[in-house]
Structure 1
Amino acid sequence: MRLTIWSRGCARPVLSDDMSASGLRAVLESGLPDADGPGVYPSAVALVLRDGEVVAREAVGEAVRYAARDYTLLPPERRIPARPDTLYDIASITKMFTSVLVLGLVEEGLLDLDEPVGRWFPEYRTGSKARTTLRMLLTHIGGYLPGRPVWRESAYVGRRRRMLLAAEPVREPGSGFQYSDIGYQTAGFLAELVTGQRLEALVEDRILTPLGLTDTGYNPAVTLLPRIAAAEQRDDLETGVIHGRVHDENAYGLGGVAGHAGLFSTAADLARFGEMLRGDGTLDGVTLLKPESVAQMRTDQIPAGVDHPYGQGVGARIDDVKFMGPLTGAFGHTGFTGTSLVVDQARRLTVVLLTNRVHPTRDTDINPSRAAVSAWAASL
């Protein structure tokens, strides 16, 4: 079987007949810097499981490579090679964790996907927002723009939270699809309100600890820096190259903890999370969700007549060819930093790709590399 592997920029395909782990390595290496330019990403880690068994695990490149956004290289002794256990900022894959948390609270009767959010937040009790439900927020039909840059608008975390809750939709809730962080930020606040616990504690107690995800969490300790992949240099934030703190500006502005972004993880931990979903909410005898709750994630929730580019479940995209390639019917999510998780129950696959394509800038297209990894897995 001949596999087409999309090269950087999709300029021309790289072809491979190799379905072995070395074939996956070739896929990953096609995105690395070379004599022709900086590539798609400086480092990547991929992990593919079939029937819960590791089929391939590869790490390539340097997790810390650049000193500045102009691609100035660090001295060799300050660069850090990627390893299978390198920690990456998983960005919007955090939304899947938030959704698992919220669905668990729904099972307990603390939340209801279809009750108006105004039951809990007064900011949602007037105008068109009064018709907004939690399901709408978790499926991107709440009517919001992609986000509101509250990190620029206030210096105080409490004020930023209130501003996000007060954000106004730009269309009637339920009438159109627009990917937006605001729904997941609100869902995180809501989980805190109904439990009386902080979001990081909820994620730790209800997901990370039960599944044994010891390398996943918000705000990683400074001692972990040698294992953490670097991100972008942001001149406007005057922080230099981001290393060890969340890349997303609003998550950073909320103290590093948010419902839409903020988690760091490894390929192994993320694969276990994916395996729990592949197992309809249960892994190694530990049940986080009922099968019917996982079904909410893998079933398209968008109302008839509303255009959307891919199927959208609660917290997960369905059949999104841009990163799932030929894994039709799969569900999962991507992260802006260059990460992706694909769960394919029909093919019994869990596919993880972690990159820091935002190091040192965000000016690359990671989707061809994501699709190539998915294509490799589909051809097993």
Structure 2
Amino acid sequence: MSDRLEAVLADAVPRVCAAAVALIAANGSVAASAAAGELVRYTDAGGTLAADRPPARLDSIFDLASVSKLCTTVVLLRLAEEGRLGLDEPVAHWIPGTDPRITPRRLLTHTAGLPPIRRIDRELPGADAAARMAAMVRTPIGHPVGGPYLYSDVGMVMAGRLAELAGGAPLDALVRTRITDVLGLADTGYRPARADRVAATECKAERPGPGCVRGEVHDETAYALGGVAGHAGVFATAGDLLAFGEMLRRGGGPVLRPHSVAEMTRDQGAGGAPFRHGLGVRIGDPGIVGPLDGAYGHSGFTGTSLVIDPARRLTVVLLTNAVHPVRGRDGIRELRHAVASEALRLVDLNR
């Protein structure tokens, strides 16, 4: 444990989030770890305190939200290594009727011209997940193809469906066989079997059952698609996510080849973003890297982030449930920066 990292989290809980876990790895070893808060603090959107408030622990499980996009990206890169698809071939090869200008590369750089979101749950309230997915991948282009950058969950949903068609298996199975089984990540995957170790997220009136969402995906579109989607839905512990990040920092083995990680983390030239963009990853995103200039990674709407800094040999994980009991709370950016600053301090100490 780290007294300084514990203090950073304690300052944010419960003001920013009800629960938080952070891990910092330097030179391949855990340099600091901390957990604070409660997995379930509230019973309703009004902030009524729960009678049972289990403490957050280092092995608690969080909804990664858009950090899930990194899993989709790695699966697609692995399928490309296997010769099952090409990063610059038309997605229409697999999804007939798709605009021929859409390619896996454009999906992963958010330059395919697809809209940011599509609330398919509201459009097709009585449909099943398969029908909703079919509608999602038929979403028409509404913006310039090839750029500028426009963050699109719709595009990543299409990327996940592309992976299923090219890989010949559901996305959750592909993530398991291509990533989690290979790395031994026992607590990472879609649709957790049990909720007792999972941090609660938002209290949603439209979801069945009392209390706040716990053990099922927070994202409405992923929920409408059955809990498995290319843009959201993965749950993990901080330790598992750290191992995933370290895999990328070390060059990909045993999941990816070094050239795939190099391509993933190369600036792909997507203009119009406040950061550089690789394949599925943001490079130098000011929202998450803080003082770790040049680091790459991704954030999640629930209050999660993974930052990888190869130059400093750092991997930084922050998992929170900043949307519990409601979204829109302030301070998550500052918390991410504070954790990144502590990581930089630890590196400077050992120089």
Shared fold, TM over 0.5: yes
Partner of 1:48: 24
SS at match of 1:130: coil
Partner of 1:160: 132
Shift of 1:63: 1.1
1:144 aligns with 2:114: yes
Match of 2:311 among 346, 366, 370: 346
Deviating runs (4+, > 6 A) in structure 1?
A: none
Partner of 1:183: 155
Whether the aligned pair in 1 keeps the contact of 2:115 and 2:143 (CA below 8 Å) is no
Q: Deviations over 1:58-79 (max 9, x none)?
A: 000111110101111011xx11
Match of 1:227 among 197, 213, 217: 197
Whether the aligned pair in 2 keeps the contact of 1:338 and 1:355 (CA below 8 Å) is yes
Partner of 1:374: 340
> In terms of mean alpha carbon deviation, does 228-237 or 86-95 score higher?
228-237
1:326 aligns with 2:291: yes
SS at match of 2:163: helix
Partner of 1:62: 38
Match of 2:83 among 109, 129, 143: 109
1:266 aligns with 2:231: no
Shift of 1:26: 1.1
- Mapping of 1:76-155 within 5 angstroms? 78-124=52-98, 129-154=99-124, 155=127
SS at match of 1:137: helix
SS at match of 2:37: strand
Partner of 1:15: none
Partner of 1:27: 8
SS at match of 2:142: coil
Q: Deviations over 1:225-244 (max 9, x none)?
A: 22110010012335441011
Q: Deviations over 1:75-131 (max 9, x none)?
A: 1xx11110000000001111001111100111111111111111221131xxxx221
Shift of 1:180: 0.8
SS at match of 1:351: strand
Partner of 1:364: 329
CA distance in 2, matches of 1:296, 1:151: 35
CA distance in 1, matches of 2:244, 2:163: 20
Q: Deviations over 1:14-51 (max 9, x none)?
A: xxxxxx91111111111113xxxxx1101100000011
CA distance in 1, matches of 2:237, 2:284: 24
CA distance in 2, matches of 1:143, 1:220: 33
Shift of 1:371: 1.1
For structure 2, which runs of at least 5 residues remain unmatched after alignment?
347-351
Letter in structure 2 aligned against 1:328: D
CA distance in 1, matches of 2:289, 2:167: 35
Whether the aligned pair in 1 keeps the contact of 2:248 and 2:261 (CA below 8 Å) is yes
Over the aligned positions, Cα root-mean-square deviation in angstroms equals: 1.2
Match of 2:258 among 291, 296, 305: 291
Q: Deviations over 1:167-193 (max 9, x none)?
A: 112112113111111111111111111
SS at match of 2:186: coil
- Mapping of 1:297-308 within 5 angstroms? 297-303=264-270, 306-308=271-273
Letter in structure 1 aligned against 2:157: Q
Whether the aligned pair in 2 keeps the contact of 1:123 and 1:165 (CA below 8 Å) is no
CA distance in 2, matches of 1:156, 1:121: 19
Whether the aligned pair in 1 keeps the contact of 2:322 and 2:329 (CA below 8 Å) is yes
SS at match of 2:72: helix
SS at match of 2:97: helix
Letter in structure 2 aligned against 1:93: V
